[in-house]
Chains A and B, each alone.
Chain A
Amino acid sequence: MLTFTLRRILMSIPVLLAVTVLVFTLVELAPGDVSDFFVNPELSGSPEAVQEMRRNFGLDQPAPVRYGIWLSQVMRGDLGFSFVSGERVMTMVLRRFRNTATLMGVALTFSVIVGVSLGVFVAVRQYSLWDHLLSGLSFLAVSMPAFVTGILALYLFAVVWPIFPSGGIRSVGQAASFVDRLHHLILPSLVLALMQTATFMRYTRFSVLEVLRADYVRTARGKGLSERGVTRKHALPNALIPVITVIGLSLPVLVVGAVFTETIFSWPGMGTLYLSAVSSRDVPLVMGLNLFIAVVVLAANLLTDVAYGFVDPRIRYE
C-alpha cells in the first residue's frame, strides 16, 4: 500500500507540471497582460510607463525564463506575490480556500448522506411510485446547472419567501456568530449539493440493482435470510464500493459548481478569487490557484484509490 501511494505521488508530478505548463502557455499566448489592468491607454499610459510597469513585474523577460523562475520558486514552497494586491499568493489562496472548503464540505457531506440513502431506498423498491418519482426528479436535477438552481433558489428563498440571506458569508455590522454563519451557509451549500445528490442517488440505485441480481444474493435468499438481512449484510457492502469512486471523482465537479455558487451568493471563496484573477490578468495568482486546484484534485483521486483498497480486500496494490 505504501509503495503504491508513493508511486502514485511520483506519477502525479508530471501531471502537475503539465497542468502548469498548459496554463502558463495559455496565459502567455493571450494578448495583453496585467499592465492593461493598471494603465488606462486612453488616460495616462505613456509607452514608457507601461514598459516600466512590465519591467517591475518581470514581464520583460522571455516566457520560458519566467516559467523557470516561477517553477524554482514553487519548488521552494513559494507561490510568489499577486500582481494586483501585492499579497502572498499562498496567503490569499489559503484564506479563500477555508471558505470554499466549508461550502464544499457541507455540500459533499449532504449529498453523500442524502444521495446514497435515497439511492438505496429506491433501488429496493424498483419500479415503485417512489422510484419513478425520485428517479424523475434526479434526472431533472442533473440537467440543472448550478447557475440555474442558484438563481432559482435565490429567487424563491431570499426574495419571494425571504428566509435566507441573499448572499455573503455573514451579516455586515454584526458580531460574527455561528448561527449567523450557518444561516448564510445553508442556501449556497444546498445549491452546490443538488446535482451531486442526484448523481450519487442515480449511481447508488444502479449499483444496488446490479448487485441484487448477483448469484450470491440469490444464495443468501435461498438459505432463507429475510429480504432486509439480504440487503443489509450481503448487497449493500458490495454495492457501495463503486460508489466511493464516484464520490472521489466528484471533486472536480464540485470545484466547478463552486465557481458559480460563489458568484451567485457573493461567497468569498476560491471561485470568485479565480474569476477576479483571470479578469485582471494576475498571472501569479492564476498559476497559483491552478496548481492548488490540481493538487487538491489529484490528492482526492489518490485518496479514493487508497480508500478503495481498504474497503475492498479483493483489491491488491503492488
Chain B
Amino acid sequence: MSEAATEPAAVAVRRPRRIENRLLRRFVRNRPAVISTLVLSVIVLLAIFAPVVERYPFDQMQLRERSQPPSAEHWLGTDRIGRDVWSRTVHGARVSLIVGFAATGIAVLIGVVLGSLAGFHGGWVETLIMRFTDVLMTFPPIIIMLTLAAFAPRGLWVIVFIIGGLSWPGVARLVRGQFLTLKEQEFVAAARALGNPGPRVMLVHILPNALPPLMAMISFGIGNAILTEAGLSFLGLGVPPPAPSWGTMLEAARNLDILRNLPWTWLPPAAMTVITVLCVNFIGDGLRDATDARMVL
C-alpha cells in the first residue's frame, strides 16, 4: 500500500505538469462520471440562474391557483397555498448547493489544517487532535447536528456551519495519513536539507502532494452535506421558511393528503435530491479511480 502510494508523489516531483493531465485523462475515460459532471453542471446553472428561469417568485402565493397539477402556466403545478413548484425547486437547488459546497469547504479547511498539523508535528499535538477526531467519529455526527440545529438560532448559514463544523474528521484522518507517508519521502528530506523552514516544507512540499486523494472525499462530502441539509429540513430543523429547501418541500408529503393528492409537489424535490447526490457520488467514484495509486501500476 505505502509503496504504491509513493509512486504518484515521486512522479509529481519529476514532472509537475504531467500528473494533473493524467488524472484528467483517466477521469474523462469514466463515462458515468463525465455524464454526471454534465448533469451536475446543468443543476448548478439552474441554481445560479434561479431568478431568471423561475416563472413566479418562489414565495408568491396565488390563492386562486392552489393545488394545480402541472400545466403550461405552472410547469410542475402549484402547492397547497398556490406557490409555483418549478420556481421552488430551482430555488431549492440554490439552498442545497450552497450548503453542499460551503459546508464541505469548511470541513475541508478544518480537516486539512488539523490533519496536516497532526501528521507533520506528531507527538502530543497528534495525540490530542486524533483523540478528538476519534470521539467525533464514534458518534453519529447527525445526532449532534440534530441537537445543535434544534437549540441554535435558525438560518441557512447556521446550517452550513453546523454541517461543516462536524464533517471534518474523515478529512483530517486522510490528510494525516498522507502526511505520515509523504514525510518519509526523499523529496521532503531534500527540501529540508536545502534549509527550508518547517512550515514551508509542510505547505509547499507536502500539502500539494497530499491533496489528490482528497478530491474523491470532497465530492462524497458534498453529497453528504446536501443529504444532511435535506434531512435536517425534512425534520423541520433545517433552513427556515420561506427559503425553499428540497427537504422542506418533501416534509410536506408527511401529510397523507398531500402525499396522495399532490404528488407533483414532492416528487420534483425528491428526484432532484437523488439526482444531485447520484451525480456527486459518480463524480467521486471517478475521481477516486483516477487518483487511486494502485491504478498507476
Chain A residues at the B interface, C-beta cutoff of 8 Å: 15, 18-19, 22-23, 26-27, 29-32, 139-140, 142-145, 147-148, 151-152, 154-155, 159, 166, 252-253, 255-256, 259-260, 263-264, 274-275, 278-279, 281, 286, 290, 293-294, 297-298, 301
Contact = CB atoms under 8 A, between A and B. Distances in A.
B150 A278 contact: yes
17 contacts: A15-B138, A23-B144, A26-B144, A145-B231, A145-B277, A147-B247, A151-B253, A151-B254, A151-B266, A256-B143, A259-B143, A260-B234, A260-B235, A274-B143, A290-B147, A297-B140, A298-B138
B140 A143 contact: no
A29 B153 CA distance: 11
A264 B140 contact: no
Contacts of A275: 146, 235
Contacts of A154: 259
Interface in B126-185: 132, 134-135, 138-140, 142-144, 146-148, 150-153
B143 A159 contact: no
B140 A252 contact: yes
Given A144-B274, A148-B273, A278-B237, 4 more contacts: A256-B140, A260-B234, A260-B235, A294-B139
Interface string B274-295: 1001100110000000000000
From DSSP, what is the main secondary structure of chain B's interface residues? Answer: helix
Contacts of A260: 231, 234-235
A155 B260 CA distance: 7
Contact of A19 (B135, B142, B250, B254): B135
B270 interface: yes
Nearest to B150: A278
Contacts of A259: 142-143, 146, 235
B110 interface: no
Contacts, number: 110
Contacts of A15: 134-135, 138
A199 to B, nearest CB: 12
B72 interface: no
A293 B140 CA distance: 9
B231 A278 contact: no
A49 to B, nearest CB: 23
Contacts of A18: 132, 135
Contacts of A151: 250, 253-254, 259, 266, 270
How big is the B interface, by class? 35 or more
B222 interface: no
A297 B144 CA distance: 14
B256 A166 contact: yes
Q: Which 6 A-B pairs have the closest CB atoms?
A: A30-B151, A278-B150, A252-B140, A143-B278, A143-B277, A18-B135
B256 A159 contact: yes
Contact of B139 (A29, A143, A166, A297): A297
B274 A148 contact: yes
Given A151-B259, A256-B140, A298-B138, A278 B250 contact: no
Contacts of A255: 140, 143
Nearest to B140: A252
B147 A147 contact: no
Contacts of B241: none
Interface string B252-275: 011010011001001000100110
Contacts of A256: 140, 142-143
A15 B135 CA distance: 6
Contacts of B253: 151, 155
A301 B278 contact: no
A148 B270 contact: yes
A149 B98 CA distance: 24
Nearest to A33: B151
B223 interface: yes
B97 interface: no
A259 B235 CA distance: 9
